[in-house]
């Protein structure tokens, strides 16, 4: 099978942003090859990679003669370039729900920095738990995350908008940062995050050799 699309990923497959693009590609059944970028060796700073990624970060994709970086830009591009029904939709079809999904993605990427600092995704995918309690500022961020998640997730449902979308994966990962480290997360949100973690596309990521 010819792979016209290339995904540039981190060597240890711990990037939450590479995860988001990887899941999108799997869900949409877009054939792709993966090229590993060793961030610890600063391979992302090389001239070759800079030609592939404007921001010199992963994820980046090459689709034919088109290069793009930044995960939410990539997932939105893939949704438009490989539309339903030929390819599975990863965003809600309703315009307002789609806007909310993008809002969630933007918020998760721009806020909650103390959680991202104190609960690295390396502990989610590689372990072990940090064993350290959250600081006061991280606790405040966790309370915000939980409050927003409880507002967004309808009681008794497994997805944000009835049907799965890529924002479900992104939100579940942020919750998993707390869950795997033993931080306080309400049972309904734990159930939601674990449900999302069983999705086949996510399991393919979790099964990556690290």
Q: What's residue 1's pLDDT?
A: 47
**Which sequence spans correspond to the domains of the chain?**
5-89, 95-203
Give, in order, the Cα–Cα distances in Å from 155 to each of 10, 99, 162, 183, 187. 36, 21, 11, 22, 12
30: its two tokens: 């877009």
Q: What's residue 52's pLDDT?
A: 82
Residue with tokens 């307002």: 96
With a threshold of 0.85, does the pTM exceed it? yes
Q: Is residue 48 very low, low, confident or very high in pLDDT (cuts 50, 70, 90)? A: confident
170: its two tokens: 């992104």
Q: What percent of the chain has pLDDT over 90?
A: 86
pLDDT digits (tens, 9 = 90+) for 99-152: 999 999 999 999 999 999 999 999 999 999 999 999 999 999 999 999 999 999
195 pLDDT exceeds 50?
A: yes
- On whether the 5-89 domain is CATH 3.40.1160.10, my answer is no
> What is the CATH T-level fold of the domain 95-203, as seen in this structure?
Glutathione S-transferase Yfyf (Class Pi); Chain A, domain 2 (1.20.1050)
């Amino acid at each position: 099978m010819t792979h016209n699309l290339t995904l540039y990923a981190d060597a240890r497959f711990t990037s939450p942003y590479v995860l988001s693009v990887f899941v999108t590609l799997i869900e949409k059944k877009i054939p792709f090859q993966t090229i590993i970028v060793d961030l610890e060796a600063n391979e992302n700073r090389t001239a070759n990679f800079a030609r592939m990624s404007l921001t010199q970060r992963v994820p980046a994709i090459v689709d034919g003669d088109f290069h793009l970086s930044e995960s939410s830009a990539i997932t939105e591009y893939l949704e438009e370039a490989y539309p339903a029904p030929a390819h599975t939709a990863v965003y809600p079809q309703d315009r307002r729900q789609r806007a909310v999904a993008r809002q969630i993605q933007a918020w998760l990427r721009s806020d909650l920095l103390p959680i991202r600092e104190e609960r690295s995704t390396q502990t989610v995918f590689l372990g072990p738990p940090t064993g350290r309690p959250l600081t006061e500022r991280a606790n405040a961020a966790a309370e915000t995350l939980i409050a927003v998640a409880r507002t967004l997730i309808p009681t008794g449902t497994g997805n944000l908008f009835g049907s799965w979308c890529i924002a479900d994966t992104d939100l579940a990962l942020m919750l998993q940062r707390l869950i795997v480290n033993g931080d306080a997360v309400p049972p309904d949100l734990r159930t939601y995050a674990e449900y999302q973690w069983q999705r086949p596309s996510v399991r393919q990521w979790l099964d990556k050799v690290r």
